[in-house]
Amino acid sequence: MKYTREERQEIGRRIYEHELTCQQAAEEYGIHIHTAKRYLWFYRDTNGLQPQRARMSAERIAKAKATPSAPEDISGYESMTKEELIRELVLAKINEARAKKGYEVKGVGVEKEYIVYDSRNTK
């Protein structure tokens, strides 16, 4: 289906202003996802706008800030041995590095699950 210049601009605007994702626009307008991205670029370039980074949803931000195994207050740390404190510190550093890369890990062994904060490829 062909869209007029104004329709392409409107689709690009909706994507740029985060009313829709490229995937949602592709489904709603019956176009390929790459076409939706091109409409976004067309809108952005026509209006002289800067590229925007993908915004994280409130749910993803809450997950990123959560520290699953850390005690809520300092009294939990006071009762730990030196080895346990070191282990908690190492786990905190690992979780911080993972958060910077955009993912976290829940569970261990076979139950391990990787939760990605953003769908963009990090390579």
Beta bridge partners of 99: none
Q: Is residue 63 part of a domain?
A: yes
Binned at pLDDT 50, 70 and 90, residue 35 comes out as: very high
* Cα 19 to Cα 12, 15, 31, 67, 78, distances in angstroms: 10, 6, 17, 30, 48
The CA-atom distances, in angstroms, between 40 and each of 25, 26, 48 are: 10, 12, 12
The answer as to whether 91 is a domain residue is: yes
Domain that holds residue 15: 5-46
Q: How many domains does the chain have?
A: 2
pTM for the full model?
A: 0.45
Confidence of residue 53 (pLDDT cuts 50, 70, 90): low
User: Mean pLDDT, to the nearest integer, of 13-32?
Assistant: 90
Residue 79 lies in a domain: yes
Does residue 65 share a domain with residue 31? Answer: no
Spatial separation of the C-alpha atoms in residues 30 and 100, rounded to whole Å: 35
